[in-house]
Amino acid sequence: MRAPLLLLVALAGCSGAQPKAGPEKVPVPLDPAVAVRKAAQDAATTTAAPVLIRDATLLTATLDRPRIERGWVRLSGGLIEAVGEGDAPPPAEGETVIDAAGAFVTPGLIDTHSHLGVYATPDVWAHADGNEMTRPITAGVRAEEAFWPQDPGLQRAVRGGVTTLQILPGSGNLMGGRGVVIKLHPLREARAMRFPGAKDSLKMACGENPKRVYGQGKGTMPASRMGSIFLMREQWVAARRYLNDWQTWEKNPTKTEDGKEMPVTPPKRDLTLETLAEVLKGEVLVHIHCYRADEMLLQLEIADEFGFAVRSFHHAVEAYKIRDILAARGVAVSTWADWWGFKIEAYDGIEQNLALVAEAGGRGILHTDSAEGVQRMNQEAGKAWYAGLHAGVKVSEAEAIRWITANPAWALGIDALTGTLEAGKMADVVVWDHHPFSVYARAAKVFVDGVPRHDADAPSPPWSDFEVGQ
């Protein structure tokens, strides 16, 4: 039996009331991409029946009230309608009630660094679409356009309590392309899965990867770290000039010749520089693959020189060495619990990295970069927390919960919409049968926009047809 997918409504166009006078106006067809996305969002919301979860321990990921021992959460219309303590209100008509005594409830987990869909399961050459390693600067390519929504790994991530992913290009290039934030609904194309209103990101990489891909025995730049920085700065110089040219044209779109208004030819469009120009305007967020402390500092100097902000350093195994600077600058650290030593720049990692960043007031994030690790983000965060506690680093349970919820939401620019259990936020909610940091914990129920996307006690058909019958 083929897995059911949400039906996408075909929207041919939109029309409102026509003016009473003048010629009849022909409705302008809605952009097909916008139509698909709107249909998907409408479908997600309309299938979200009201739910009341009661008598659970709530780990809210909020700063003011991070833990409610006996609490309740009401989901309605795709949003968290209310959060409370003590006796839950009477169920509304038609409302599903979940008795969650002994269980824990958290916001949906968010992974800032995923290649699901662009390095899909099974791991074969045919699915290797995350790295355009044909030149070191490919800022104009988009992970969204290589994303395969039938990757079986997506449903496995949901079974681990994950509701939102940032899908990134790989790290073979200095500027690898644009990342996209998605909600984990089983839809038919990447654009329909986009997180509503989330900005794209620019994935950059420094250190060993680009110089190995291009310089090792190939004689092309970058063959060294200094060559890498030169190429980056060269591109930012060009991007600043490109942005200035477009802004000048927008202010002066016409010129006068012999008393006539004549259009001025706009600058030539360049997709690579266009992405970088959007970074300079703050419309695209910067995420940088970077391991060493000195290289992170160098990237911050480049950001200052050209006037953009680094949103998060990824992997960042030496972030603990400059945790005070990263905290003061408001740069997030997206890293693992204990991956280290697989190459020289990853050699000086320590298990207390996340805890030390948090202790210094920084914004720590547990990411996975793994189709397998994304299935147990809760346990990875628990490992990182306990490593800090055992070393005497004072980090609270609440802060550790934020490593996989509120903090990644901030890094992706969606913290006003998701990442905490608060009224008005998207109903991205997980019910755990044990404390989420327990090795025995499983995500018993997972809601995405209030839609039940996983129930451990009532397994649903597979999202992807790819493994059916295999």
Domain ranges of the chain: 108-417
- Count Cα atoms within 13 angstroms, Cβ side, for 299: 30
Packing angle, helices 293-306 and 225-251, rounded to 10: 20
The number of beta carbons lying within 10 Å of the beta carbon of residue 448 is 26
* H-run or E-run covering 408: helix 406-411
Cα radius of gyration (the chain): 24
> In the prediction, which pLDDT does 19 show?
36
- For 276, the token pair is 């970088």
Query: Which class is domain 108-417?
Result: alpha beta
Rounded Cα–Cα distance for residues 112 and 335 (Å): 10
> In the prediction, which pLDDT does 3 show?
39
Packing angle, helices 271-280 and 225-251, rounded to 10: 80
> In the prediction, which pLDDT does 39 show?
52
Helix (H, G, I), strand (E, B) or coil at 153: helix
- For 457, the token pair is 């006690």
Phi, psi dihedrals of residue 328, rounded to the nearest 5°: -65, -35
Mean pLDDT of residues grouped by 10 in the chain (470 residues)? Answer: 35 35 40 50 68 98 97 97 98 96 98 98 94 97 98 97 98 98 96 96 97 90 97 98 95 79 90 98 98 98 98 98 98 97 97 98 98 98 98 97 98 98 98 98 98 93 84
Rounded Cα–Cα distance for residues 51 and 54 (Å): 10
> In the prediction, which pLDDT does 34 show?
52
- What torsion do the CA atoms of 441, 397, 66, 77 make, to the nearest 10 degrees? -30
Partner residues linked to 446 by β-bridges: 430, 454
Rounded Cα–Cα distance for residues 224 and 211 (Å): 6
Q: Note the pTM of the prediction, 2 decimals.
A: 0.90
> In the prediction, which pLDDT does 46 show?
59
